[in-house]
C-alpha cells in the first residue's frame, strides 16, 4: 500500500500540473507538438501513401469549417461576457453595496481595514479564522466538561490545520487571482461548520451561552472564507474566458489562413506544387496548425473545468472533489 501511494504521488503531481499549475500556453504548445508528432509519424511511416488527394481535401475542409466555428463561438463568449458588464446604474449599485457590506463585515471582525487585492484580503480572512478558533479552544478548556472539550478541540484542530495550510500556500504564491483561488480549491469548511453546529445541538445544556456565541462567530468566519472563494472564482472565470477569447482569435485567424493557402497548393496540374518528400511534412504541419485553436481551447478548458468542479458546492454543502 505504501509503495502504491509513493508511485501515485508523482502521477498526482503531474496531473495537478497539467490541470492547474502549468502555464496554459505551454500546455497548448505541448498538445500541438504531440499532435504534430503523431500525424508526422503516420505520414513518414508510409501508412498514408497520399495517392488519392480527396481525403486530404476533406481534412483541410474540416479544419477550415471547424476553425470558423470556433471563432464564431469566441464571438458568442465575448458577447456573453460583455452582456454581464452592461448593467443599469441600480443593478451596479446593488452589486457594489453587497460587496461593500461583505467587506465591512470582514473589517469589523478583524478590527482593521482590509486590503483591496485578493491575496491580502484572503490572508486577513485566514488570520481572523485562526484567531477565532484559538479563542474558542481557550474558552472550551476553562468552561466546559471533558466530553465537550474533546469535540470542540477536534473541530478547532481541523480548522487550524486547514487555515495554516491555506496561509502557507498564500505565502508561497503570487498576487494573481488564480494563485489565490488555487490555495482554497480543496477546502470549503462544510464539514467543520456541520461539526460545530452538531456540537451546539448535542451539548446545548452543557455549553455556556458565550461559548455558543464563540462557535457562531467561528462558523461566520468560515462562511466568509467560502464567500470570498466563490467571488474570486467568478472574477477568475471571467478573466480566463476573456483571455481564452483573445487567444483563440490570435490562433484561429492565422490557422485558417495557413490551411487555406496549403489547400491552394493542391490545385496544381500534377496534384500539388510541392515535391513528394516535402509533402509528407507539409500535410502534418498544416494539420497541426489547423488544430492549434483546438489545443488552446483544450488547455484553457482543462483548468476552467477543474476549478469549476472543485468549487461547485458552497457552504453548507461539499463534494468528494473538494475533499481531495
pLDDT in tens, 68-81: 888 888 778 777 77
What would the mean pLDDT of 110-119 be, rounded to a whole number? 88
Q: How far apart are CA 235 and CA 230, in angstroms?
A: 9
Candidate from 81-90, 183-192, 200-209 with smallest mean pLDDT:
81-90
Who's near 35: CB < 8 A, 6+ residues apart? 287, 288, 291, 295
With contact defined as beta carbons under 8 Å apart, do 288 and 60 qualify? Answer: no
* Mean of per-residue pLDDT scores for the chain: 85
In the predicted structure, residue 35 carries a pLDDT above the cut 60: yes
Name the more confident of 83 and 294.
294
* Per-residue CA distances from 120 to 125, 176, 177, 241 (Å): 9, 11, 11, 25
Q: How far apart are CA 192 and CA 198, in angstroms?
A: 10
Q: How far apart are CA 152 and CA 111, in angstroms?
A: 25
What would the mean pLDDT of 26-46 be, rounded to a whole number? 92
Confidence of residue 216 (pLDDT cuts 50, 70, 90): very high
Closest among 42, 26, 70 to 294, alpha carbons compared? 70
Confidence of residue 5 (pLDDT cuts 50, 70, 90): very low
Cell of 19: 490541470
In the predicted structure, residue 92 carries a pLDDT above the cut 60: yes
What tens digit of pLDDT does each residue of 133-190 get?
A: 999 888 888 787 888 889 889 999 999 998 898 888 888 777 688 888 888 887 778 8
- Measure the N-to-C terminal CA separation of the chain; round to a whole number of Å: 18
The pLDDT value recorded for residue 101 is 92
Q: How far apart are CA 42 and CA 21, in angstroms?
A: 32
Name the more confident of 263 and 46.
263
Name the more confident of 203 and 270.
203
Confidence of residue 275 (pLDDT cuts 50, 70, 90): confident
Residues in the chain: 324
In the predicted structure, residue 2 carries a pLDDT above the cut 50: no
Candidate from 46-60, 115-129, 232-246 with smallest mean pLDDT:
46-60
Who's near 137: CB < 8 A, 6+ residues apart? 152, 153, 156
With contact defined as beta carbons under 8 Å apart, do 119 and 180 qualify? Answer: yes
Amino acid at each position: 500500500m505504501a509503495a502504491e501511494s509513493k508511485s501515485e504521488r508523482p502521477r498526482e503531481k503531474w496531473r495537478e500540473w497539467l490541470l492547474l499549475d502549468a502555464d496554459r500556453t505551454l500546455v497548448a504548445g505541448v498538445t500541438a507538438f504531440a499532435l504534430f508528432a503523431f500525424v508526422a509519424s503516420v505520414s513518414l511511416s508510409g501508412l498514408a501513401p497520399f495517392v488519392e488527394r480527396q481525403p486530404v481535401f476533406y481534412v483541410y475542409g474540416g479544419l477550415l469549417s471547424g476553425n470558423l466555428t470556433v471563432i464564431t463561438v469566441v464571438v458568442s463568449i465575448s458577447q456573453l461576457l460583455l452582456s454581464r458588464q452592461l448593467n443599469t446604474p441600480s443593478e451596479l449599485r446593488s452589486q457594489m453595496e453587497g460587496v461593500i457590506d461583505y467587506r465591512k463585515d470582514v473589517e469589523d471582525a478583524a478590527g482593521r481595514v482590509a486590503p483591496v487585492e485578493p491575496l491580502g484580503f484572503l490572508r486577513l480572512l485566514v488570520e481572523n479564522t485562526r484567531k477565532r478558533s484559538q479563542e474558542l479552544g481557550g474558552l472550551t478548556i476553562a468552561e466546559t466538561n471533558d466530553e465537550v472539550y474533546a469535540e470542540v478541540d477536534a473541530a478547532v484542530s481541523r480548522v487550524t490545520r486547514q487555515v495554516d495550510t491555506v496561509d502557507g500556500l498564500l505565502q508561497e504564491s503570487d498576487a494573481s487571482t488564480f494563485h489565490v483561488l488555487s490555495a482554497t480549491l480543496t477546502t470549503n469548511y462544510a464539514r467543520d461548520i456541520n461539526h460545530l453546529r452538531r456540537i451546539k445541538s448535542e451539548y446545548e445544556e452543557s455549553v455556556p451561552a458565550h461559548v455558543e456565541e464563540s462557535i457562531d462567530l467561528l462558523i461566520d468566519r468560515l462562511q466568509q472564507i467560502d464567500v470570498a472563494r466563490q467571488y474570486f472564482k467568478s472574477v477568475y472565470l471571467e478573466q480566463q474566458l476573456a483571455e481564452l477569447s483573445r487567444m483563440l482569435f490570435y490562433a484561429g485567424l492565422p490557422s485558417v489562413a495557413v490551411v487555406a493557402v496549403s489547400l491552394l497548393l493542391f490545385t496544381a496540374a500534377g496534384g500539388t506544387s510541392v515535391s513528394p518528400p516535402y509533402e509528407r511534412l507539409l500535410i502534418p504541419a498544416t494539420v497541426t496548425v489547423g488544430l492549434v485553436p483546438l489545443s488552446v481551447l483544450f488547455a484553457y478548458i482543462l483548468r476552467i473545468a477543474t476549478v469549476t468542479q472543485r468549487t461547485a458546492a458552497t457552504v453548507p454543502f461539499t463534494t468528494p472533489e473538494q475533499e481531495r
